[in-house]
A and B are shown apart, each in its own frame.
Chain A
Protein backbone atom coordinates (compact mmCIF):
# COMPACT_ATOMS: atom_id res chain seq x y z
CA UNK A 1 0.00 0.00 0.00
CA UNK A 2 2.67 2.50 0.99
CA UNK A 3 4.69 1.64 -2.10
CA UNK A 4 1.72 2.13 -4.39
CA UNK A 5 0.92 5.43 -2.75
CA UNK A 6 4.46 6.65 -3.00
CA UNK A 7 4.83 5.90 -6.73
CA UNK A 8 2.89 8.85 -8.12
CA UNK A 9 4.56 11.17 -5.63
CA UNK A 10 8.03 10.11 -6.71
CA UNK A 11 7.06 10.73 -10.31
CA UNK A 12 5.48 14.07 -9.61
CA UNK A 13 8.68 15.23 -7.91
CA UNK A 14 10.82 14.29 -10.87
CA UNK A 15 8.75 15.11 -13.87
CA UNK A 16 7.59 18.74 -13.92
CA UNK A 17 11.12 20.16 -14.04
CA UNK A 18 12.56 17.56 -16.39
CA UNK A 19 9.52 17.79 -18.63
CA UNK A 20 10.19 21.43 -19.46
CA UNK A 21 13.78 20.71 -20.45
CA UNK A 22 13.51 17.31 -22.12
CA UNK A 23 11.22 18.53 -24.89
CA UNK A 24 13.79 21.14 -25.99
CA UNK A 25 16.70 18.69 -26.28
CA UNK A 26 15.90 17.68 -29.87
CA UNK A 27 15.29 21.20 -31.29
CA UNK A 28 18.48 22.52 -29.62
CA UNK A 29 20.51 19.60 -30.94
CA UNK A 30 19.23 20.33 -34.44
CA UNK A 31 20.28 23.99 -34.16
CA UNK A 32 23.76 23.02 -32.91
CA UNK A 33 24.26 20.48 -35.74
CA UNK A 34 22.94 23.03 -38.23
CA UNK A 35 25.39 25.70 -37.02
CA UNK A 36 28.27 23.25 -37.16
CA UNK A 37 27.35 22.15 -40.69
CA UNK A 38 27.25 25.77 -41.91
CA UNK A 39 30.42 26.84 -40.11
CA UNK A 40 32.38 23.92 -41.53
CA UNK A 41 31.22 24.77 -45.05
CA UNK A 42 29.44 21.42 -45.40
CA UNK A 43 26.24 23.34 -46.22
CA UNK A 44 26.47 26.39 -48.48
CA UNK A 45 25.08 29.66 -47.11
CA UNK A 46 23.07 29.97 -50.36
CA UNK A 47 21.21 26.78 -49.55
CA UNK A 48 20.78 27.29 -45.83
CA UNK A 49 22.14 30.23 -43.84
CA UNK A 50 23.64 29.52 -40.42
CA UNK A 51 21.43 29.98 -37.33
CA UNK A 52 23.57 32.96 -36.35
CA UNK A 53 22.85 34.64 -39.72
CA UNK A 54 19.15 33.97 -39.28
CA UNK A 55 19.34 35.42 -35.77
CA UNK A 56 21.10 38.59 -36.97
CA UNK A 57 18.51 38.99 -39.76
CA UNK A 58 15.84 38.62 -37.10
CA UNK A 59 17.56 41.24 -34.93
CA UNK A 60 17.68 43.72 -37.82
CA UNK A 61 14.01 43.22 -38.64
CA UNK A 62 13.15 43.49 -34.98
CA UNK A 63 14.99 46.83 -34.71
CA UNK A 64 13.25 48.23 -37.78
CA UNK A 65 9.91 47.19 -36.24
CA UNK A 66 9.02 45.25 -39.37
CA UNK A 67 9.11 41.86 -37.67
CA UNK A 68 6.83 42.83 -34.78
CA UNK A 69 4.38 44.48 -37.14
CA UNK A 70 4.19 41.43 -39.42
CA UNK A 71 3.87 39.00 -36.53
CA UNK A 72 1.13 41.11 -35.02
CA UNK A 73 -0.78 41.27 -38.32
CA UNK A 74 -0.56 37.50 -38.80
CA UNK A 75 -1.46 36.80 -35.19
CA UNK A 76 -4.45 39.11 -35.45
CA UNK A 77 -5.70 37.44 -38.66
CA UNK A 78 -5.21 34.00 -37.18
CA UNK A 79 -7.10 34.80 -33.98
CA UNK A 80 -10.02 36.60 -35.56
CA UNK A 81 -10.38 33.94 -38.27
CA UNK A 82 -10.18 31.22 -35.62
CA UNK A 83 -12.80 32.87 -33.43
CA UNK A 84 -15.23 33.38 -36.32
CA UNK A 85 -14.80 29.93 -37.90
CA UNK A 86 -14.53 28.14 -34.56
CA UNK A 87 -17.57 29.94 -33.20
CA UNK A 88 -19.71 29.04 -36.19
CA UNK A 89 -18.40 25.45 -36.19
CA UNK A 90 -19.14 25.10 -32.48
CA UNK A 91 -22.65 26.50 -32.95
CA UNK A 92 -23.42 24.09 -35.81
CA UNK A 93 -21.90 21.21 -33.85
CA UNK A 94 -24.13 21.99 -30.88
CA UNK A 95 -27.24 22.44 -32.99
CA UNK A 96 -26.71 19.25 -35.00
CA UNK A 97 -25.69 17.24 -31.96
CA UNK A 98 -28.75 18.27 -29.99
CA UNK A 99 -31.43 18.56 -32.65
CA UNK A 100 -32.42 15.87 -35.14
CA UNK A 101 -34.11 18.43 -37.35
CA UNK A 102 -31.09 20.70 -37.53
CA UNK A 103 -28.88 17.71 -38.24
CA UNK A 104 -31.07 16.48 -41.09
CA UNK A 105 -31.28 19.97 -42.50
CA UNK A 106 -27.59 20.89 -42.58
CA UNK A 107 -25.32 17.91 -41.99
CA UNK A 108 -25.33 16.58 -45.57
CA UNK A 109 -24.58 20.01 -46.97
CA UNK A 110 -21.75 20.57 -44.52
CA UNK A 111 -20.26 17.17 -45.30
CA UNK A 112 -20.26 18.03 -49.01
CA UNK A 113 -18.58 21.38 -48.44
CA UNK A 114 -16.08 19.69 -46.16
CA UNK A 115 -14.78 17.62 -49.03
CA UNK A 116 -13.72 20.71 -50.99
CA UNK A 117 -10.12 21.57 -50.09
CA UNK A 118 -10.64 25.07 -48.75
CA UNK A 119 -7.39 26.31 -50.25
CA UNK A 120 -8.84 25.50 -53.67
CA UNK A 121 -11.10 28.48 -53.10
CA UNK A 122 -8.19 30.94 -53.13
CA UNK A 123 -8.73 32.06 -56.76
CA UNK A 124 -12.41 32.59 -56.08
CA UNK A 125 -11.74 34.36 -52.81
CA UNK A 126 -9.28 36.74 -54.48
CA UNK A 127 -11.90 37.56 -57.11
CA UNK A 128 -14.51 38.15 -54.41
CA UNK A 129 -12.54 40.01 -51.78
CA UNK A 130 -9.33 41.06 -53.52
CA UNK A 131 -6.30 40.79 -51.25
CA UNK A 132 -7.62 42.69 -48.26
CA UNK A 133 -8.24 41.31 -44.78
CA UNK A 134 -11.61 39.72 -45.56
CA UNK A 135 -10.02 37.20 -47.92
CA UNK A 136 -7.61 35.89 -45.28
CA UNK A 137 -10.20 35.86 -42.52
CA UNK A 138 -12.64 34.00 -44.76
CA UNK A 139 -10.12 31.30 -45.61
CA UNK A 140 -8.94 30.84 -42.03
CA UNK A 141 -12.49 30.73 -40.73
CA UNK A 142 -13.48 28.16 -43.35
CA UNK A 143 -10.47 25.98 -42.59
CA UNK A 144 -11.04 26.13 -38.83
CA UNK A 145 -14.78 25.54 -39.10
CA UNK A 146 -14.72 21.84 -39.98
CA UNK A 147 -12.50 20.28 -37.31
CA UNK A 148 -14.39 22.18 -34.62
CA UNK A 149 -17.77 21.34 -36.12
CA UNK A 150 -17.01 17.63 -36.53
CA UNK A 151 -15.47 17.17 -33.09
CA UNK A 152 -18.16 19.13 -31.27
CA UNK A 153 -20.81 17.03 -33.02
CA UNK A 154 -18.96 13.81 -32.26
CA UNK A 155 -18.44 14.83 -28.63
CA UNK A 156 -22.11 15.56 -28.07
CA UNK A 157 -23.31 12.42 -29.82
CA UNK A 158 -21.02 10.18 -27.80
CA UNK A 159 -21.94 11.48 -24.34
CA UNK A 160 -22.79 8.42 -22.26
CA UNK A 161 -26.58 7.91 -22.66
CA UNK A 162 -26.64 6.33 -19.17
CA UNK A 163 -25.48 9.64 -17.70
CA UNK A 164 -28.16 11.51 -19.64
CA UNK A 165 -30.78 9.08 -18.32
CA UNK A 166 -29.38 9.59 -14.81
CA UNK A 167 -29.68 13.37 -15.23
CA UNK A 168 -33.29 13.05 -16.34
CA UNK A 169 -34.13 10.75 -13.41
CA UNK A 170 -32.73 13.33 -11.02
CA UNK A 171 -34.97 15.98 -12.49
CA UNK A 172 -32.56 17.98 -14.65
CA UNK A 173 -34.23 20.21 -17.21
CA UNK A 174 -32.80 20.72 -20.70
CA UNK A 175 -30.59 23.63 -19.71
CA UNK A 176 -29.19 21.98 -16.63
CA UNK A 177 -28.70 18.69 -18.45
CA UNK A 178 -26.66 20.51 -21.09
CA UNK A 179 -24.61 22.45 -18.57
CA UNK A 180 -23.92 19.60 -16.17
CA UNK A 181 -23.85 16.50 -18.38
CA UNK A 182 -23.71 17.07 -22.14
CA UNK A 183 -21.25 19.94 -22.44
CA UNK A 184 -18.66 18.62 -19.96
CA UNK A 185 -18.97 15.21 -21.62
CA UNK A 186 -18.32 16.68 -25.06
CA UNK A 187 -15.44 18.90 -23.93
CA UNK A 188 -12.54 16.44 -24.41
CA UNK A 189 -13.63 15.88 -28.00
CA UNK A 190 -14.07 19.62 -28.58
CA UNK A 191 -10.47 20.15 -27.48
CA UNK A 192 -9.28 17.58 -30.01
CA UNK A 193 -11.07 19.72 -32.60
CA UNK A 194 -9.45 22.90 -31.30
CA UNK A 195 -5.96 21.46 -31.61
CA UNK A 196 -6.61 20.22 -35.14
CA UNK A 197 -8.07 23.62 -35.99
CA UNK A 198 -5.01 25.46 -34.69
CA UNK A 199 -2.82 23.52 -37.11
CA UNK A 200 -5.14 24.26 -40.00
CA UNK A 201 -5.34 27.89 -38.93
CA UNK A 202 -1.58 28.48 -39.42
CA UNK A 203 -1.43 26.43 -42.61
CA UNK A 204 -4.27 28.39 -44.19
CA UNK A 205 -2.91 31.73 -43.10
CA UNK A 206 0.58 31.07 -44.43
CA UNK A 207 -0.73 29.97 -47.81
CA UNK A 208 -3.14 32.88 -48.03
CA UNK A 209 -0.49 35.42 -47.04
CA UNK A 210 2.02 33.95 -49.43
CA UNK A 211 -0.34 34.23 -52.36
CA UNK A 212 -2.38 37.31 -51.67
CA UNK A 213 -1.25 39.81 -49.05
CA UNK A 214 0.59 43.06 -48.54
CA UNK A 215 1.58 42.42 -44.92
CA UNK A 216 2.08 39.56 -42.49
CA UNK A 217 4.65 36.82 -42.08
CA UNK A 218 3.81 35.04 -45.32
CA UNK A 219 4.16 38.30 -47.20
CA UNK A 220 7.49 38.97 -45.47
CA UNK A 221 8.78 35.59 -46.61
CA UNK A 222 7.64 36.17 -50.21
CA UNK A 223 9.26 39.63 -50.29
CA UNK A 224 12.49 38.14 -48.99
CA UNK A 225 12.40 35.54 -51.75
CA UNK A 226 12.17 38.34 -54.33
CA UNK A 227 15.36 39.90 -52.97
CA UNK A 228 17.10 36.54 -52.38
CA UNK A 229 17.20 37.15 -48.60
CA UNK A 230 17.27 33.47 -47.72
CA UNK A 231 17.98 34.22 -44.04
CA UNK A 232 14.67 36.09 -43.75
CA UNK A 233 12.83 33.22 -45.49
CA UNK A 234 14.25 30.74 -42.98
CA UNK A 235 13.45 33.16 -40.15
CA UNK A 236 9.79 33.32 -41.23
CA UNK A 237 9.56 29.55 -41.29
CA UNK A 238 11.05 29.30 -37.80
CA UNK A 239 8.62 31.90 -36.49
CA UNK A 240 5.75 29.83 -37.89
CA UNK A 241 7.04 26.85 -35.96
CA UNK A 242 7.24 28.89 -32.76
CA UNK A 243 3.79 30.39 -33.18
CA UNK A 244 2.33 26.97 -33.89
CA UNK A 245 3.97 25.60 -30.76
CA UNK A 246 2.68 28.56 -28.76
CA UNK A 247 -0.90 28.00 -29.93
CA UNK A 248 -0.65 24.31 -29.11
CA UNK A 249 0.71 25.04 -25.63
CA UNK A 250 -2.09 27.53 -25.00
CA UNK A 251 -4.71 24.92 -25.88
CA UNK A 252 -2.95 22.40 -23.64
CA UNK A 253 -3.04 24.78 -20.70
CA UNK A 254 -6.74 25.37 -21.33
CA UNK A 255 -7.29 21.61 -21.55
CA UNK A 256 -5.51 21.05 -18.26
CA UNK A 257 -7.56 23.71 -16.54
CA UNK A 258 -10.95 22.51 -17.75
CA UNK A 259 -10.36 18.75 -17.84
CA UNK A 260 -8.72 18.36 -14.44
CA UNK A 261 -11.29 15.66 -13.66
CA UNK A 262 -10.06 13.49 -16.52
CA UNK A 263 -7.89 10.54 -15.45
CA UNK A 264 -5.35 11.51 -18.13
CA UNK A 265 -4.77 14.88 -16.45
CA UNK A 266 -4.53 13.71 -12.86
CA UNK A 267 -1.46 13.14 -10.71
CA UNK A 268 0.97 15.09 -12.85
Chain B
Protein backbone atom coordinates (compact mmCIF):
# COMPACT_ATOMS: atom_id res chain seq x y z
CA UNK B 1 0.00 0.00 0.00
CA UNK B 2 2.68 2.39 1.09
CA UNK B 3 4.80 1.26 -1.82
CA UNK B 4 2.07 2.00 -4.33
CA UNK B 5 1.80 5.54 -3.12
CA UNK B 6 5.44 6.32 -3.71
CA UNK B 7 6.99 7.31 -6.94
CA UNK B 8 10.53 8.32 -7.70
CA UNK B 9 11.72 11.75 -8.68
CA UNK B 10 15.08 12.36 -10.27
CA UNK B 11 17.60 13.21 -7.51
CA UNK B 12 15.05 12.85 -4.79
CA UNK B 13 14.07 10.53 -2.02
CA UNK B 14 10.80 8.69 -2.54
CA UNK B 15 8.15 10.99 -1.14
CA UNK B 16 4.61 10.36 -0.05
CA UNK B 17 2.16 11.54 -2.65
CA UNK B 18 0.36 13.99 -0.40
CA UNK B 19 3.60 15.57 0.74
CA UNK B 20 4.75 15.78 -2.80
CA UNK B 21 1.67 17.58 -4.03
CA UNK B 22 2.15 20.09 -1.29
CA UNK B 23 5.76 20.53 -2.38
CA UNK B 24 4.70 20.95 -5.97
CA UNK B 25 2.19 23.59 -4.95
CA UNK B 26 4.77 25.45 -2.91
CA UNK B 27 7.24 25.25 -5.75
CA UNK B 28 4.69 26.58 -8.18
CA UNK B 29 4.07 29.57 -6.00
CA UNK B 30 7.73 30.38 -6.38
CA UNK B 31 9.25 31.10 -9.74
CA UNK B 32 10.28 27.56 -10.58
CA UNK B 33 7.55 25.10 -11.36
CA UNK B 34 8.16 21.45 -10.51
CA UNK B 35 5.97 19.25 -12.61
CA UNK B 36 4.51 15.98 -11.41
CA UNK B 37 3.01 15.29 -14.82
CA UNK B 38 4.34 12.53 -17.04
CA UNK B 39 6.01 13.21 -20.39
CA UNK B 40 4.57 11.46 -23.40
CA UNK B 41 6.36 10.29 -26.53
CA UNK B 42 4.59 8.99 -29.60
CA UNK B 43 6.48 7.46 -32.54
CA UNK B 44 5.10 6.44 -35.93
CA UNK B 45 1.60 5.89 -34.57
CA UNK B 46 -0.90 4.38 -37.02
CA UNK B 47 -4.47 3.27 -36.57
CA UNK B 48 -7.05 1.96 -39.02
CA UNK B 49 -10.67 0.99 -38.60
CA UNK B 50 -11.30 -1.52 -41.36
CA UNK B 51 -10.02 0.01 -44.58
CA UNK B 52 -10.19 3.52 -43.19
CA UNK B 53 -6.77 4.70 -42.06
CA UNK B 54 -7.51 7.24 -39.35
CA UNK B 55 -4.00 8.00 -38.11
CA UNK B 56 -1.18 7.90 -40.66
CA UNK B 57 2.00 8.25 -38.69
CA UNK B 58 1.96 10.54 -35.69
CA UNK B 59 5.25 11.61 -34.10
CA UNK B 60 4.92 13.72 -31.03
CA UNK B 61 6.68 14.54 -27.79
CA UNK B 62 4.81 16.22 -24.98
CA UNK B 63 7.00 17.37 -22.06
CA UNK B 64 5.79 16.74 -18.53
CA UNK B 65 3.18 19.21 -17.33
CA UNK B 66 2.43 20.75 -20.70
CA UNK B 67 -1.12 21.66 -21.66
CA UNK B 68 -1.63 20.52 -25.24
CA UNK B 69 -4.76 21.13 -27.29
CA UNK B 70 -5.52 19.03 -30.33
CA UNK B 71 -7.82 20.61 -32.90
CA UNK B 72 -9.03 19.52 -36.29
CA UNK B 73 -12.15 18.99 -38.31
CA UNK B 74 -14.57 16.15 -37.48
CA UNK B 75 -13.18 12.78 -38.47
CA UNK B 76 -9.57 13.95 -38.61
CA UNK B 77 -8.55 11.38 -36.03
CA UNK B 78 -8.10 13.64 -33.00
CA UNK B 79 -10.41 11.61 -30.79
CA UNK B 80 -8.80 8.38 -31.94
CA UNK B 81 -5.40 9.75 -30.95
CA UNK B 82 -6.73 10.54 -27.49
CA UNK B 83 -8.34 7.12 -27.12
CA UNK B 84 -5.03 5.51 -28.08
CA UNK B 85 -3.16 7.57 -25.50
CA UNK B 86 -5.72 6.57 -22.88
CA UNK B 87 -5.35 2.91 -23.83
CA UNK B 88 -8.95 2.57 -24.99
CA UNK B 89 -7.99 1.29 -28.45
CA UNK B 90 -5.20 -1.00 -29.61
CA UNK B 91 -2.28 0.39 -31.57
CA UNK B 92 -1.78 -0.86 -35.16
CA UNK B 93 1.81 0.36 -35.56
CA UNK B 94 4.21 2.64 -33.71
CA UNK B 95 4.46 3.28 -30.00
CA UNK B 96 3.22 5.47 -27.18
CA UNK B 97 5.45 5.70 -24.16
CA UNK B 98 4.75 7.46 -20.91
CA UNK B 99 7.86 8.56 -19.07
CA UNK B 100 8.57 6.73 -15.83
CA UNK B 101 6.54 3.85 -14.48
CA UNK B 102 2.94 4.85 -15.10
CA UNK B 103 0.32 3.17 -12.92
CA UNK B 104 -3.19 2.59 -14.15
CA UNK B 105 -4.40 5.47 -11.98
CA UNK B 106 -1.88 7.86 -13.54
CA UNK B 107 -3.80 8.30 -16.80
CA UNK B 108 -7.39 9.51 -16.67
CA UNK B 109 -9.87 10.51 -19.36
CA UNK B 110 -12.78 12.88 -19.25
CA UNK B 111 -15.40 12.59 -21.97
CA UNK B 112 -17.97 14.88 -23.52
CA UNK B 113 -20.64 12.93 -21.59
CA UNK B 114 -20.18 12.92 -17.81
CA UNK B 115 -20.72 9.11 -17.69
CA UNK B 116 -21.79 9.19 -14.05
CA UNK B 117 -23.47 6.14 -12.58
CA UNK B 118 -27.08 7.31 -12.17
CA UNK B 119 -27.65 4.84 -9.31
CA UNK B 120 -24.72 6.06 -7.21
CA UNK B 121 -24.67 9.24 -5.13
CA UNK B 122 -22.28 11.99 -6.21
CA UNK B 123 -19.68 11.03 -3.61
CA UNK B 124 -19.58 7.36 -4.57
CA UNK B 125 -19.32 8.38 -8.21
CA UNK B 126 -16.17 10.28 -7.31
CA UNK B 127 -14.87 7.30 -5.32
CA UNK B 128 -15.07 5.22 -8.50
CA UNK B 129 -12.17 7.33 -9.76
CA UNK B 130 -9.82 5.94 -7.11
CA UNK B 131 -9.38 2.75 -9.10
CA UNK B 132 -7.72 0.06 -7.01
CA UNK B 133 -7.68 2.35 -3.95
CA UNK B 134 -11.49 2.34 -3.81
CA UNK B 135 -11.48 -0.06 -0.88
CA UNK B 136 -8.93 1.90 1.16
CA UNK B 137 -10.00 3.51 4.41
CA UNK B 138 -9.34 7.08 3.28
CA UNK B 139 -11.31 6.67 0.04
CA UNK B 140 -14.20 8.78 1.25
CA UNK B 141 -11.97 11.56 2.55
CA UNK B 142 -10.10 11.70 -0.75
CA UNK B 143 -13.35 11.80 -2.72
CA UNK B 144 -14.57 14.63 -0.50
CA UNK B 145 -11.39 16.61 -1.14
CA UNK B 146 -11.75 16.14 -4.91
CA UNK B 147 -15.37 17.30 -4.76
CA UNK B 148 -14.34 20.35 -2.78
CA UNK B 149 -11.74 21.10 -5.42
CA UNK B 150 -14.43 21.41 -8.11
CA UNK B 151 -16.67 23.35 -5.70
CA UNK B 152 -19.37 20.73 -5.27
CA UNK B 153 -18.83 19.53 -1.69
CA UNK B 154 -22.43 20.46 -0.86
CA UNK B 155 -23.76 18.05 -3.50
CA UNK B 156 -22.07 14.92 -2.17
CA UNK B 157 -25.30 13.17 -1.17
CA UNK B 158 -27.28 13.99 -4.32
CA UNK B 159 -28.27 11.70 -7.17
CA UNK B 160 -26.64 12.70 -10.48
CA UNK B 161 -30.10 13.08 -12.04
CA UNK B 162 -30.76 16.28 -10.08
CA UNK B 163 -27.53 18.03 -11.14
CA UNK B 164 -27.21 20.45 -14.06
CA UNK B 165 -25.06 19.60 -17.07
CA UNK B 166 -22.17 21.71 -15.81
CA UNK B 167 -22.37 20.20 -12.32
CA UNK B 168 -22.37 16.67 -13.73
CA UNK B 169 -19.27 17.50 -15.73
CA UNK B 170 -17.61 18.89 -12.60
CA UNK B 171 -18.37 15.64 -10.78
CA UNK B 172 -16.78 13.80 -13.72
CA UNK B 173 -13.75 16.08 -13.35
CA UNK B 174 -13.55 15.33 -9.62
CA UNK B 175 -13.71 11.61 -10.42
CA UNK B 176 -10.85 12.02 -12.88
CA UNK B 177 -8.82 14.08 -10.40
CA UNK B 178 -9.34 12.01 -7.27
CA UNK B 179 -6.54 9.56 -8.06
CA UNK B 180 -4.19 12.50 -8.76
CA UNK B 181 -3.48 11.48 -12.35
CA UNK B 182 -0.26 12.53 -14.01
CA UNK B 183 -1.79 12.65 -17.47
CA UNK B 184 -5.34 13.86 -17.93
CA UNK B 185 -6.92 13.53 -21.36
CA UNK B 186 -10.05 15.52 -22.21
CA UNK B 187 -12.25 14.48 -25.13
CA UNK B 188 -14.39 17.54 -25.91
CA UNK B 189 -15.29 17.82 -22.22
CA UNK B 190 -17.18 21.06 -22.62
CA UNK B 191 -18.81 20.34 -25.96
CA UNK B 192 -22.28 19.80 -24.55
CA UNK B 193 -22.34 22.81 -22.22
CA UNK B 194 -23.84 26.23 -22.74
CA UNK B 195 -21.54 29.20 -23.45
CA UNK B 196 -21.38 30.65 -19.92
CA UNK B 197 -20.89 27.29 -18.24
CA UNK B 198 -18.16 26.58 -20.77
CA UNK B 199 -16.19 29.66 -19.79
CA UNK B 200 -16.39 28.89 -16.07
CA UNK B 201 -15.45 25.25 -16.73
CA UNK B 202 -12.46 26.40 -18.80
CA UNK B 203 -11.30 28.47 -15.84
CA UNK B 204 -11.77 25.48 -13.54
CA UNK B 205 -9.76 23.24 -15.87
CA UNK B 206 -6.97 25.78 -16.04
CA UNK B 207 -6.94 26.16 -12.27
CA UNK B 208 -6.77 22.42 -11.47
CA UNK B 209 -4.11 21.95 -14.14
CA UNK B 210 -2.15 24.78 -12.56
CA UNK B 211 -2.60 23.38 -9.02
CA UNK B 212 -1.98 19.72 -9.75
CA UNK B 213 0.54 20.15 -12.54
CA UNK B 214 -0.51 17.11 -14.57
CA UNK B 215 0.12 16.80 -18.30
CA UNK B 216 -3.11 17.85 -20.02
CA UNK B 217 -4.26 16.77 -23.46
CA UNK B 218 -7.41 18.48 -24.65
CA UNK B 219 -9.20 17.40 -27.81
CA UNK B 220 -11.57 20.11 -28.98
CA UNK B 221 -13.12 21.53 -32.13
CA UNK B 222 -13.28 24.95 -30.51
CA UNK B 223 -10.13 26.84 -31.53
CA UNK B 224 -10.77 29.71 -29.12
CA UNK B 225 -10.92 27.21 -26.25
CA UNK B 226 -7.66 25.67 -27.46
CA UNK B 227 -5.73 28.96 -27.59
CA UNK B 228 -7.22 30.15 -24.30
CA UNK B 229 -6.10 27.08 -22.36
CA UNK B 230 -3.15 25.43 -24.06
CA UNK B 231 0.60 25.93 -24.11
CA UNK B 232 0.64 24.33 -27.50
CA UNK B 233 -1.94 23.68 -30.19
CA UNK B 234 -1.65 20.73 -32.57
CA UNK B 235 -3.67 20.85 -35.77
CA UNK B 236 -4.45 17.40 -37.16
CA UNK B 237 -5.37 16.96 -40.79
CA UNK B 238 -5.90 13.67 -42.57
CA UNK B 239 -4.40 11.61 -39.77
CA UNK B 240 -1.19 13.64 -39.50
CA UNK B 241 -0.03 16.57 -37.42
CA UNK B 242 -0.27 19.43 -39.89
CA UNK B 243 0.70 22.29 -37.56
CA UNK B 244 2.37 22.48 -34.19
CA UNK B 245 1.84 25.94 -32.72
CA UNK B 246 3.28 27.18 -29.42
CA UNK B 247 1.05 29.64 -27.63
CA UNK B 248 3.42 32.12 -26.02
CA UNK B 249 0.81 34.21 -24.31
CA UNK B 250 1.23 34.81 -20.60
CA UNK B 251 -1.29 33.46 -18.12
CA UNK B 252 -3.78 34.34 -16.81
CA UNK B 253 -5.07 34.93 -20.32
CA UNK B 254 -7.83 37.41 -20.87
CA UNK B 255 -10.68 36.06 -22.98
CA UNK B 256 -11.17 38.17 -26.08
CA UNK B 257 -7.73 39.80 -26.02
CA UNK B 258 -6.15 40.79 -29.32
CA UNK B 259 -3.28 38.28 -29.05
CA UNK B 260 -5.63 35.35 -28.54
CA UNK B 261 -7.96 36.50 -31.31
CA UNK B 262 -5.10 36.86 -33.80
CA UNK B 263 -3.76 33.41 -33.01
CA UNK B 264 -7.23 31.91 -33.19
CA UNK B 265 -7.76 33.59 -36.55
CA UNK B 266 -4.58 32.20 -38.04
CA UNK B 267 -5.28 28.65 -36.81
CA UNK B 268 -8.81 28.80 -38.17
CA UNK B 269 -7.40 30.03 -41.49
CA UNK B 270 -5.06 27.02 -41.56
CA UNK B 271 -7.96 24.68 -40.90
CA UNK B 272 -10.08 26.26 -43.61
CA UNK B 273 -7.23 26.23 -46.14
CA UNK B 274 -6.76 22.57 -45.40
CA UNK B 275 -10.43 22.00 -46.11
CA UNK B 276 -10.37 23.86 -49.45
CA UNK B 277 -7.11 22.48 -50.68
CA UNK B 278 -6.23 18.83 -50.23
CA UNK B 279 -2.52 19.35 -50.95
CA UNK B 280 -0.30 19.51 -47.90
CA UNK B 281 0.32 23.04 -46.78
Contact = CB atoms under 8 A, between A and B. Distances in A.
B206 interface: no
Interface string B90-114: 0000000000000011001101010
Interface in B26-73: none
B105 A184 contact: no
Interface in B146-162: 159-162
A262 B118 contact: yes
A110 to B, nearest CB: 28
A187 B119 CA distance: 10
Contacts, number: 47
Given A169-B86, A170-B129, A171-B131, A162 B115 contact: yes
A184 to B, nearest CB: 4
Given A166-B115, A261-B119, 5 more contacts: A162-B113, A166-B111, A171-B132, A184-B117, A262-B119
Interface in A222-268: 259-263, 266
B88 interface: yes
A261 B118 contact: yes
B120 interface: yes
B161 A263 contact: yes
Contacts of A170: 128-129, 131, 175
A36 interface: no
Interface string B139-178: 0000000000000000000011110000000000001000
19 contacts: A162-B111, A163-B115, A165-B115, A166-B128, A167-B128, A169-B108, A171-B131, A172-B128, A180-B117, A180-B120, A181-B117, A184-B119, A261-B118, A261-B159, A261-B160, A261-B161, A262-B118, A262-B161, A266-B159
A170 B131 CA distance: 5
A184 B128 CA distance: 15
Interface in A169-222: 169-172, 180-181, 184-185, 187
Find the residue from B120, B128, B160, B175 having the highest chain A CB count within 10 A: B128
Contacts of B109: 169
Q: How many A residues touch the partner, as a band?
A: 20 to 34
A172 B105 CA distance: 12
A159 to B, nearest CB: 11
Interface of B: 86, 88, 104-105, 108-109, 111, 113, 115, 117-120, 128-129, 131-132, 159-162, 175
Interface of A: 162-163, 165-167, 169-172, 180-181, 184-185, 187, 259-263, 266
Contacts of A266: 159, 161-162
A165 B88 contact: yes
A188 B266 CA distance: 51
Contacts of B159: 260-261, 266
A163 B160 CA distance: 14
B79 to A, nearest CB: 13
Contacts of B128: 166-167, 170, 172, 180
A259 to B, nearest CB: 8
Find the residue from A165, A166, A184, A261 having the highest chain B CB count within 10 A: A166
B112 to A, nearest CB: 10
Nearest to A162: B115
Contacts of A166: 111, 115, 128
A184 B161 CA distance: 15
Contacts of B161: 261-263, 266
Contacts of A187: 119
Contacts of A167: 128
A162 B105 CA distance: 19
Given A162-B113, A169-B109, A261 B120 contact: yes
Contacts of B162: 266
User: 3 closest pairs, A vs B, by CB?
Assistant: A171-B131, A184-B119, A166-B115
Nearest to A160: B115
Find the residue from B86, B113, B118, B162 having the highest chain A CB count within 10 A: B118
A262 B160 CA distance: 10
A261 B175 CA distance: 19
Contacts of B132: 171
Contact of A171 (B86, B104, B113, B175): B104
B84 to A, nearest CB: 14
Contacts of B120: 180, 261
A201 to B, nearest CB: 27
B161 to A, nearest CB: 5
A156 B148 CA distance: 34
B154 to A, nearest CB: 15
A165 B87 CA distance: 11
A261 B131 CA distance: 23
Contacts of A262: 118-119, 161
A185 B119 CA distance: 8
Nearest to B87: A169
A132 B7 CA distance: 70
A173 B104 CA distance: 13
B88 A171 contact: no
Contacts of A259: 119
